[in-house]
Structure 1
Amino acid sequence: MYIVPEAVIDGLLTRADSFQAVEAVFASMARGAARNFPVIREAIGHADALYGFKSGFDRESLALGLKSGGFWPGNAERGLTNHQSTIFLFDADTGQIKAVIGGNLLTALRTAAASAVSIHHLARPDAEVLGMIGAGHQSTFQMRAALEQRKFRRVVAWNREPSMLDRLAAVAEEVGVPFESVTLDRLGAEADVIVTILSSFAPVLMSAQVRPGTHIACMGTDTRGKQEVEPELLARARLFTDEVAQAVSIGECQHAVAQGLVSPEAITPLGAVIAGQQPGRQDETEITLFDGTGVGLQDLAVANAVLIKAIKNGSAIKLG
């Protein structure tokens, strides 16, 4: 078996690699070749932590395994990332353990790749203004990946604590795109693409703030009760997701479905668009919304990709 430590992953897997891996596994899911197994996610009653498991199997890539980890809100004070995880890959032919791989950076890369895939397939081709809502650890990964999908000429952003937007402003300066901190009203009125990446249990972005033709990637809701946008916004939009079962149970769609504003049948797996089974955006005035709940197959896809690279360049540690 191999061990790929967290420390060697940075610089090993590119955003393009992550995009390709996530896009491919979404299509594999739509073709019925890949399946996520039921998610376990629980409060452990200690350190305010949420802990769980995501797992699955892709018959096309033979990626089999699980991600174990969760969210420790006090980690920032310790100089650690709040999200902590490890990915375990198994040999699909024998069931023997294949690799243990650090999952923190991979989780950030695959989450950003998922929203980037949604922008690539659903945003208007002429989108010019990117809106960012949220400025936590994941936000810079989201922004970098999003900026590569269209020729954005400006970024507008909002966060509850405006001082935290400095990290996004630094990314914008690095890539040479003008950046401005704005109100939510301005952000919704000006942005062609909006990425929400919050840990919120109440809606922040309201339906009335979003104009026709916008693409929204909701990437922060992955637990029952979490919420980033007003349910009425989902009722206005064409809805897409990584997995419908998760979207209606722990994703952004959970609230609109519970209120009877949206039916699960109205939610299209993004993989079906990628595989050519369902249409994506159908006109320039349509609001499209991607509910990115985060599925185990995404983790396995990027872990499989980084394992191949780590073995090739010798950075994977072989045991036995």
Structure 2
Amino acid sequence: MLIVPEKDIADLMTRDAAFDAVEQVFAAMASDDAYNFPVVREAIGHEDALYGFKGGFDRAGATLGLKAGGYWPHNLEKRDLINHQSTVFLFDPDTGKPAAMVGGNLLTALRTAAASSVSIKHLARPDAKVLGMIGAGHQATFQLRAALEQRAFDRVIGWNYHPDMLPNIAKVAEDAGLPFEAVDLPGMAEADVIISITSAFAPSLMADHVSPGTHIACMGTDTKGKQEVEAALLARATVFTDEVAQSISIGEAQHAIAAGLIAESDIHQIGAVINGAHPGRTSDTDITLFDGTGVGLQDLAVAARVVDLAQKKGIAIHVDF
């Protein structure tokens, strides 16, 4: 078995590599060449933590495995650790033997950012200029860096539940040479692309905060009860997702489905757009929304890429397991 520790991930994995891995696995899912296993995600009754397992099998990429981990909301304040903690385990699909154990913390941030970035590439207007950010935590910085590579944005606007955290994303914008402005939520109407990356259980972005032609990437809702945007917004939009089953059960669409505002058939796989089976955006006035629930296959795809890179560089640790 190979081990790639968390400390080595930053020197191995690039945003480009994460983007390619996620785009390819989304395409494989839409072609029925890859599928996710049912998600296990539970509140464990300790430290207010959510813990679970996401796994799957990518036949096209010969990748089998799971990610174990979750969200510990007090880690940063109590232990100076990031709140999201995870590890990816890969198995040989031919024999079932353990193949690799990979640190999953940075990979989770990179693959989540890659997913929204893929959605921007395929669904946002080509002339998008203003990028709106809702959320300013650890993962928001990864989201912003990845998004800025997909369009020639000239301005970033942002809102957060805790305004004192906005300098986190302001610095990323300024490092990219772009002005940053804090706005109230109605001010998001100026944005051509909006990324929401919070852990909220109540919506912040409302339907009337969004202008025609906007693309929204909802990246924080991955648990039953979580919600970042008003359900009515999904009724206004053409809705895409990583996996429909997760979207309607633990993703942003769960609320619109429950309210009867949309049907399961109204939700489309982003992989179908990548493959050319769905046209995606059809006009400059369409509102498109990507419900990024976070699928296990994303984790496996980026972990497999890291293992390959670690082997090529000779830094993978071999263990007789």
Q: TM-score, normalized by length of structure 2?
A: 0.99
Show the counterpart of 2:144.
Answer: 143
Equivalent residue number for residue 22 of structure 1: 22
Structure 2 counterpart of 1:155, which letter? V
Q: CA offsets, 1:135-170, max 9 Å, x none?
A: 111000000000000000000000111110111111
Equivalent positions of 1:143-222 (< 5 A) are: 143-187=144-188, 189-222=189-222
Query: C-alpha displacement at 1:236, in angstroms?
Result: 0.3
| CA–CA separation in structure 2 for the residues paired with 1:161 and 1:317 | 41
Deviation at 1:175, TM superposition (A): 1.0
**Secondary structure of the structure 2 residue equivalent to 1:271:** helix
Cα distance in 2 between the residues matched to 1:177 and 1:14: 22
Percent of counterpart pairs with the same letter?
Answer: 67
Paired amino acid for 1:273: V
Partners of 1:161 and 1:52 in 2: how far apart?
Answer: 27
Distance, in Å, in 1 between the alignment partners of 2:46 and 2:162 is 27
Alpha-carbon displacement from aligned partner over 1:186-235 (angstroms, at most 9, x marks no partner):
12x21000000011011100101111000000000000000000001000
Number of aligned positions between the proteins = 319
Give me the whole-angstrom Cα distance separating, in 1, the residues matched to 2:98 and 2:5.
16
Listed as ranges, the matches of 1:47-196 within 5 Å are 47-77=47-77, 78-187=79-188, 189-196=189-196
After TM superposition, give the deviation of residue 239 of structure 1 in Å. 0.3
AA partner of residue 224 (structure 1): K
For 2:99 and 2:15, the matched residues in 1 are separated by 24
- Displacement of 1:279 after TM fit? 1.1
- SS of aligned partner of 2:289: strand
Where 2:246 maps in the other structure, the secondary structure is helix
RMSD: 0.6
Aligned to 1:12: 12
> 4+ residue runs of structure 1 moved beyond 4 angstroms?
none
> TM-score by structure 1 length?
0.99
Counterpart in 2 of 1:299?
Answer: 299
In structure 2, list runs of 5 or more residues that go unmatched.
none
Q: Distance in 2 between matches of 1:241 and 1:11?
A: 30
Which residue does 1:264 correspond to in 2?
264
Q: Whole-Å Cα distance in 2 between the matches of residues 30 and 209 of structure 1?
A: 31
In 2, Cα distance between the equivalents of 1:193 and 1:291?
A: 14
Structure 2: distance between partners of 1:44 and 1:167:
30
Counterpart residue type for residue 232 of structure 1: A
CA distance in 2: counterparts of 1:95 and 1:229, whole angstroms: 41
Residue 140 of structure 1 aligns to a residue whose secondary structure is: helix
**Structure 1 segments unaligned to the other structure (5+ residues):** none
- Aligned-residue offset at 1:173: 1.4
CA distance in 1, matches of 2:285, 2:245: 28
What is the CA–CA distance in structure 2 between the aligned matches of 1:139 and 1:254, rounded to whole Å? 23
What is the identity, as a one-letter code, of the residue corresponding to 1:8? D
State the alpha-carbon separation in 1 of the partners of residues 237 and 267 from structure 2. 10
Quote the Cα distance in structure 1 between the aligned partners of 2:293 and 2:156. 24
Distance, in Å, in 2 between the alignment partners of 1:43 and 1:267 is 28
SS of the equivalent of 2:271 reads helix
What's the CA shift string for 1:9-58, capped at 9, x where partnerless?
A: 00311000000000000000011010100000011111111111000000
Rounded to whole Å, the distance in 2 between the matches of 1:105 and 1:316 is 17
**Does the residue aligned with 1:10 lie in a helix, a strand or coil?**
helix
Tell me how far apart the structure 1 counterparts of residues 41 and 171 of structure 2 sit (CA, whole Å): 34
How far, CA to CA, are the matches of 1:125 and 1:263 in structure 2? 29
Deviations 1:228-274 (A, max 9, x none): 00001000000000000000000000000000000000000000110
Deviating more after overlay: 163-172 vs 239-248 = 163-172
> Following the alignment from structure 1 to structure 2, what is the Cα–Cα distance between the partners of residues 135 and 16?
22
CA distance in 1, matches of 2:7, 2:294: 23
